[in-house]
Amino acid sequence: MSLIITDECINCDVCEPVCPNIAIYQGEMIYEIHPDKCTECVGHFDEPQCVAVCPVNCIIKDVAHPESNEELLEKYEQLTLRDGAKSDSPLIQGKP
């Protein structure tokens, strides 16, 4: 499932630059996450990087967008292929 930023966000700017999918953007009031781009860092890292750096723990799973790890990996593959990555990339094959 993708992640969502709650209204506890303090706009500290640390989450946006660590998102490998460029899914985080400045919304009208707080940072927001585009659910079609969020893979919870599946395919990139072992844990969501935005959650790891958030000082107020305001990034949670978005229950409105449930997805399995397999679906997140498929989304990652589609996003990286769209961005010009080759399908034989080690990350797509699950290798470090």
Domain of residue 10, CATH code:
3.30.70.20
Are 15 and 42 a contacting pair, CB within 8 Å? no
pTM: 0.81
Number of domains within the chain: 1
Closest CA to 49 of 57, 38, 41: 41
Decide if 47 is inside a domain.
yes
The pLDDT > 70 percentage for the chain reads 85
Q: How confident is the model at residue 83 (pLDDT cuts 50, 70, 90)?
A: low
Decide if 35 is inside a domain.
yes
Closest CA to 5 of 50, 59, 64: 59
Decide if 95 is inside a domain.
no
Decide if 78 is inside a domain.
yes
pLDDT in tens, 60-74: 999 999 999 999 999
Show the domain range for 49: 3-82
What is the per-residue burial (b if ≥16 Cβ within 10 Å, else e) of 23-34? bbeeeeeebebe
